[in-house]
């Protein structure tokens, strides 16, 4: 008698389907992490876009518990 394992079949089918859709790995290690970040940051600064997005807001903690030195 031939046995059939549905779970095993589903896993194998899913792996095959994913491999056909994405034959190459989706996540790959880069050779030089953060390459070009310094240059990109310099360009942002030159355009004047390196400020805060929102104005600083004080919290209750800042006003009552924080000790500025």
Residues 6+ away with beta carbon under 8 Å from 41: 50
Q: 18-52, pLDDT tens digit by residue?
A: 777 766 666 677 788 889 999 999 999 999 999 99
Scanning the structure block, which residue is given the tokens 């310094």? 38
The pLDDT value recorded for residue 5 is: 67
**Residue 1: both structure tokens together:** 């008698």
Confidence of residue 16 (pLDDT cuts 50, 70, 90): confident
Angle, CA 62 vertex, CA 61 and CA 66 arms, to 5°: 85
Q: Is the pLDDT higher at 29 or at 53?
A: 53
The pLDDT value recorded for residue 10 is: 78
Which residue stretches of 1-69 are H helix?
6-21, 37-46, 60-64
- pTM of the entire predicted model: 0.41
């Amino acid at each position: 008698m031939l046995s059939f394992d549905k779970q095993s079949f589903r896993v194998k089918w899913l792996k095959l389907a994913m491999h056909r859709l994405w034959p190459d790995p989706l996540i790959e290690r880069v050779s030089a992490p953060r390459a070009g970040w310094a240059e990109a940051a310099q360009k942002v600064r030159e355009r004047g876009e390196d400020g805060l997005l929102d104005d600083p807001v004080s919290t209750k903690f800042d006003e009552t518990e924080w000790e500025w030195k």
